[in-house]
Structure 1
């Protein structure tokens, strides 16, 4: 993916609801920080660098999971709560 990690100055833990909002907005192509920060579901405001870095980590995890599933062919993947959302989001971005 053509994203690069940035230095971020605000550190807030990413809870599930915040991650879900990020996936839904970012996959529609780089959500503005205003749209993300306006959501009632998030647990703290974040700057673009924090959102971008989280997106990169989510994509890396999803890619690793997908590659592992393809290499084994039949072994079930361990549950990851964001798998289905990431599958939908990355398919919309292609």
Structure 2
């Protein structure tokens, strides 16, 4: 593991001590093995940790955090089109 990776892990761990989830539930459970098979790539440990702690949603309605679909979810209608506000050109 590189020094940069070690520093990133330490930073995420310290952030976890001060950040908290707001709302009735926190975190999402993802079948990471199934998601990796569907998307053909492994997902980073820090992303998996963030999803487990905070789940999907938005940060300040500016940054969207999405969880990957697994094969079971692809046909379930849980995926949707971006809102018009998200698609609007903000220039």
TM range (shorter): under 0.3
The structure number with the bigger radius of gyration is 2
TM-score (norm 2): 0.28
Larger RCO: 1 or 2 (CA < 8 Å, sep 6+): 1
TM-score (norm 1): 0.27
More helix by share: 1
